[in-house]
Amino acid sequence: MKLTDKNIESIKQEWNALGSTYATDVNTMVKFGDAYGWENWKGEEPKDERNHLADAVYQLLKAANTHHTVDQFRNDFPPAHTPFIKFMQDHGQSIEQLHFIDAQKIVFVVGTAYQKRQAYVLIEDITLQLDESITGIGKSKQHNVFAIASKNTIVTTQGWEGDIIATFNLDKTKNLGITEIIPFNDGLKVLLVSSDGIFIISSDAENMIHPLPDLEGDEWESYMDMENATLSNDNKYIVVGDQCCDHRILDSNGNEIGEVGPQSSYPDFCLFSKDDTQLITNSCHFYNGVTIGVDTSNVKDINIVAYEESDDYTTIDDGMRVYCGVATSKYYILGDAFGYIKAIDKQGHCIWKYFLGSTITGMTISEDENTLWVGSASGMLHKLQLDKGCRDTHTIGTGDHYEDFRLIFWKDEPIMKW
């Protein structure tokens, strides 16, 4: 259908009226649920009634990208998630391994561990494609060390595209799908996370530190689900876990010194606070989960029993299935399976929440903590200016953030900006 100016104006008015109403209704419901308990909400769940407009708006979005009129299009048609789910189901792909470089520049990959990935650098709103052989990118917790996996080799550098620190030629871990790689702060070791095991890679060894050695052998099929790991910011400690194993706290050589049992069903995420004084772990059940925080002042004494209330931990959140997150100087920002990002402090107070849509799969924040980039399984990469003020009346959540833009990486489509 060829859209006339009259058609476009009518679509625009309907899109904005319905979108604003939907966001207001959702925010009202969430505010009530948070204040009085969801069991007391008696109203109907709001519905986004714009599905019938999606094809036309998508056509207009593509035209705006072709004719370089995206800024005006964004003002006329604030972005939405629900009306485009049908496109995401066919064309969506995960945006993962986001890492801040400097200024308004990040690096990331599109695709999961067992897909053909493509890595990109994003500078402001310009996307540059990197070598297609790259299978994983990581960044150290401190000292700005990057790691790039390509052709069964991992190279660490001082800074992005900086001087080479070390080169690791993979043998035991070659051809593994890389869930995550985290270089140590000196660049001389790398933590490699895969569904076939979690390894410390050094110049002379590829040591598997998870699962436990006594699970190895002919009967172990060498495969994990929900594999996850992190390093403390000072690199003194490693935390590892998976669907079938409690989170294990290890020293920097991979020796177990503590354990954190899940308070939901399946351990799937872990992260240290920016000052390393707290470790948070998430366990999930379907799309929900529980995140707890433990004091790290006596790491060797940490032994949290699964499914048991205790004064030895703080409940950080009791709803989110967490897939990714960052630790800032003020709070954690966690992304969940329902498409929300939430800022939560060490005591478990939710500072703000903000809806983006789909499963949140990657996140990174600028050094000054003002700009947040968020990737999702929908194929969307969002750039947010935190606490700058909402851009439109379609925003769902309590976060007062300004979305500069979202980039759309859909299969069989050119990269689009919205």
Residue 84 falls inside a structural domain = no
Q: Is residue 175 part of a domain?
A: yes
Residue 6: band (very low, low, confident or very high) from pLDDT cuts 50, 70, 90: confident
Are 113 and 70 in the same domain? no
One-letter amino acid at 164 equals: I
- Shared domain for 133 and 257, answered yes or no, is yes
Q: Where are the alpha helices (DSSP H) in 37-117?
A: 54-66, 70-76, 85-91
Q: Is residue 66 located within the same domain as residue 96?
A: no
pTM: 0.96
Mapping DSSP to helix (H, G, I), strand (E, B) and coil, where does residue 405 land? strand
Tokens read off for 76: 């006329």
**103 and 69 in one domain?**
no
Cis status, amide bond into 183, omega within 30 of 0: no
Residue 146 confidence class, pLDDT cut points 50, 70, 90: very high
Are 183 and 35 part of one and the same domain?
A: no
The reply to whether 103 and 191 lie within a common domain is yes
Higher-confidence position of 300 and 417: 417
Residues 407, 356: Cα–Cα separation, whole Å: 13
User: What pLDDT does 354 receive?
Assistant: 98
Average pLDDT over the chain reads 96
CATH number for position 324: 2.130.10.10
Q: Is residue 403 part of a domain?
A: yes
pLDDT band at 214 (very low <50, low <70, confident <90, very high): low
For the stretch 24-82, pLDDT in tens is 999 999 999 999 999 999 999 999 999 999 999 999 999 999 999 999 999 999 999 99
Let me know if 50 is exposed, middle or buried by CB neighbors in 10 A (0-12, 13-18, 19+). buried
Q: What is the pLDDT of residue 184?
A: 98
Q: pLDDT value at position 1?
A: 61
Q: Which amino acid is at 282?
A: N
Task: Look at residue 217 in the predicted model and tell me its pLDDT.
Answer: 52
Q: How far is Cα 404 from Cα 27, in angstroms, rounded to an integer?
A: 21
Q: CB within 8 A of 18, min separation 6: which ones?
A: 48, 49, 50, 53
Per-residue model confidence (pLDDT) at position 3:
80
Q: Of the candidates 257, 195, 271, which has an alpha carbon nearest to the alpha carbon of residue 226?
A: 195
Q: Which of 28, 48, 76 is the last residue of a domain?
A: 76
The reply to whether 127 and 256 lie within a common domain is yes
Within a domain: residue 101? yes
Is 36 a member of any domain? yes
Say which range, 147-151, 218-222, 296-300, has the weakest mean pLDDT: 218-222
Cα dist from 251 to 183, 185, 209, whole Å? 15, 15, 11
Say yes or no to pLDDT of 222 above 70.
Answer: no
**Tokens encoding 175:** 């051809």
Stretch 357-382: mean pLDDT: 98
**Domain termination site, one of 32, 50, 76:** 76
Task: Flag whether pLDDT at 216 surpasses 70.
Answer: no
- Domains: count for the chain: 2
Nearest to 262 by CA among 243, 287, 277: 243
Same domain for 177 and 282, yes or no, is yes
52 and 130, same domain (yes or no):
no
Nearest Cα to 110, choosing from 403, 381, 405? 381
Q: Does residue 218 surpass a pLDDT of 80?
A: no
Length reported for the chain: 418
Instruction: Give the structural domain span for 313.
Output: 92-417
The burial of 161, by beta-carbon neighbours within 10 Å (0-12 exposed, 13-18 middle, 19 or more buried), is given as: exposed
Residues with Cβ within 8 Å of residue 210, at least 6 apart in sequence: 197, 198, 227, 229, 240, 241, 242, 245, 248
Interval 317-334: pLDDT, tens: 999 999 999 999 999 999
* Residue 358 located in a structural domain: yes
Q: Is 64 helix (H, G, I), strand (E, B) or coil?
A: helix
Is residue 206 within 8 Å of residue 172, measured between CB atoms? yes
Token pair listed for 258: 């503590």
In a domain, 85, yes or no: no
Confidence of residue 2 (pLDDT cuts 50, 70, 90): confident
Instruction: Return the number of other C-beta atoms located less than 10 Å from residue 299's C-beta.
Output: 17
Identify the pLDDT of residue 212: 84
Residues 293, 98, 353, 406, Cα dihedral to 10°: -170
Closest listed residue to residue 322, CA positions, set 381, 262, 365: 262
Pairing mode, if any, of strands 228-231 and 237-242?
A: antiparallel
Q: How far is Cα of residue 398 from the mean position of the Cα atoms in its chain?
A: 19
Q: What average pLDDT does the segment 391-406 reach?
A: 97
In this structure, how many other beta carbons lie within 10 angstroms of the beta carbon of residue 130? Answer: 16
Which tokens go with 273? 């606070």
Same domain as 263, residue 146: yes
Same-domain pairing of 30 and 171: no
What average pLDDT score do residues 188-208 get? 97
Give a yes or no: residue 87 inside a domain: no
Cα separation, 98 vs 63, whole angstroms:
28
d(CA 251, CA 207): 14
Residue-level pLDDT at 304: 97
Question: Which tens digit of pLDDT belongs to each residue from 245-266?
Answer: 999 999 999 999 999 999 999 9
Last residue of a domain, one of 22, 43, 76: 76
Judge if 223 and 317 occupy the same domain.
yes
